Structure 1
Amino acid sequence: MRDPDKLDNLIKAYDIRGIVPGQLDDELAYQVGAAFAHHLGADLIAVGHDMRVSSPALAEAFAAGAASRGTDVLAIGLVSTDLLYFASGVGDVPGAMITASHNPPAYNGIKLCRAGAAPVGQDTGLTQIRALLENGLPEYDGELGQIGYQDLLPAYAAHLRGLVDLTASRRLKLVVDAGNGMAGRTAPVVLRHPAFEIVPLYFELDGTFPHHEANPMNPANLSDLKAAVRREGADAGLAFDGDADRCFFVDEAGEAVSPSAVIGLIATKELALHPGSAVIYNAITSRAVAELITENGGRPIRTRVGHSFIKQVMADNNAVFGGEHSGHYYFRDFWNADSGMLAALHVLESLGNTDQPLSALTGRYVRYVASGELNLTVSDIPGTLARIEANYTARGATADHLDGLTITHPGGAWFNLRPSNTEPLLRLNVEAPDAATMTQIRDAVISAVQAGDSRHERVDAAS
């Protein structure tokens, strides 16, 4: 049985994540594997892991735990998270991925899914698994499950390439920054195509991340990619996070492409093929996304941040596509799961079929000016949100609480303050029709947050 207080710091809204071995160790991974297998009663579970130093042992312990309850395990080895989703989807089996995504090297975690890559979060299984960890599993004296091994990378790569059409593509020169993460294994296989010339950056698998954090949402981690794109005269740059389920794009001038523009591009593309479909977007995505979905005959559906929530809304509405401003992109033809590599192929298909540069292609989908995500250290998060809401609504703005606090001004500018799940932070995103208005609102919100709080530290980019 596990201490409930320690589990509070480990079990998040949609995965299990903590420092190894202080919070997460092989013994706990074994127990989570056993609890997951018991909760589902599945005959077979697929288990994969990333390149972190602690990942192979945690994956082995998880698999042994699942087998201890009579469940067979398909161990698929070193994989990206979306390759684990592929295994779950194509095999119609539950899955477990040992990864801490973009977190620093000391961290690791476990992402779980049900058969068909269906999400597991607090409302879809994590609560029950936590209860089993706290109270202990019932006795089991049946046969042990068997553990087998299979490399699914070739099948995964073929599946992704089958979802796009690259036959008419012009040849593209691409710089790909794997950040020493799992894209270093998957990108060379998926992107092995006559349409692409690949310039690799940091493809060596190394869970200590010797060059930069594998978190492309932080602009500092795109510096090497931007410089390489300019140096190589490349058509585009791709940056993946540690488990390669997110992808960020850099254009031919070495400038970062807004993830909201990527959502607009792919949504428009998918709606042309599936008219009238629903498209999901989250609360911090540009308002241009909803406008573009509507203009292209789709049904825009706004949801909170987080993959387990979006996947469920995708399934409930049979949505063709979903996107988050954090670089997660979800596809109906990929079991509603997110795949940074599939998003890359969609963007590259569109780029290869036009003579325009990436900046012009994605520029069609940019209508407003955004601040990017800023982290504000706050000691009293509930009190700060209540104070900010009262301040702005008293002056005619509207508020909603779908995910944190979103304040919309009468002229259409908006900002969102969203609490971090793990740190005493409020994450601020601002969008306005022009740069001056965005800057004024951004600075006013930062001042208002800091004016009533004892901690004034500001971090300029989400980490």
Structure 2
Amino acid sequence: MKAVVMAGGEGTRLRPMTASQPKPLLPVVNRPIMEHVLRLLCRHGMTETVVTVEFLAPLIRNYFGDGEDFGVSLTYSAEETPLGTAGSVRKAERELGGDSFLVISGDALTDVDLGEMVRFHKDHGALVTVGLARVPNPLEFGITIVGDDGRVERFLEKPTWGQVFTDTVNTGIYVMEPEVFEHVPPGQVVDWSADVLPELLAKSAPVYGWVGRGYWEDVGTLDSYFNAQVDMLARRIDLPIDGFEVSPGVWIGEGADVDPAAILHGPLYVGDHARVEARAELREHTVVGSNALVKSGAFLHRTVLHSNVYVGRGANLRGCVIGRNTDVMRG
């Protein structure tokens, strides 16, 4: 089965980090979110993928190329203007070859069993299967009610607490039959959850909901972005961490130089070719990006450094994210 990775969003709630790089390229434990998504697809045998791009599209193309380095084959479908979640996939219809396909966001972190979701879809003869997750606070998402047979009965976008009647939310992961494009006019702004799915329900089309048992995080805010780092380091997500686990919870990337006199309290990660000098202290839930330099006497706790960051002597960083190519001087 082919997959569509939606990677055209601007990620406005994560600015300024997303002002000069697309949200799918934001690193979670030193690898872009979309790279984690492609690895998950590959794990479940979905190696032919169409990537929909719009905002800062050349950066995504330049990083992932044709996908060979990531074990997949990538083609790209570019939007001149945003077409919405359904409109963007409709534009890529030709690349999907008229077969069933899976849609997944390139900027959400998950380890759900996509193979199980596909089997559910086929077993129930669905036109659309909606991937659902249980969350403690559903206010930010569209909630979904399903019947005992798994058929979707109702959607409600962005509910108030008085309207919350379930904790299952739409993850934006779908398995679909090509006939769904009959409900998506080409070249128009169309959204799956706001436009297409309500229309299908009104017509009693076979739309089913599948509740995944794994991890799912939207990564739409700074808090959720940081939580994703913590969850990866705590191994709450069944996704690989690149590098070597030199002691419990302490991961060191290829070519990294950590002085034996540096103080490390995991879980933490030091990226490829990064350098941590003597008497620097890295505390829990810290990520040091590739080619970063942490000077002697610096203190980092619950801090994420992107690539090529310089942290000066005696700097004290707590609970922060430092964007790429940034110098943090003494203080």
Using structure 2 for the length normalisation, give the TM-score.
0.31
More strand by share: 2
More helix by share: 1
Using structure 1 for the length normalisation, give the TM-score.
0.24
Greater Rg, structure 1 or structure 2?
Answer: 1
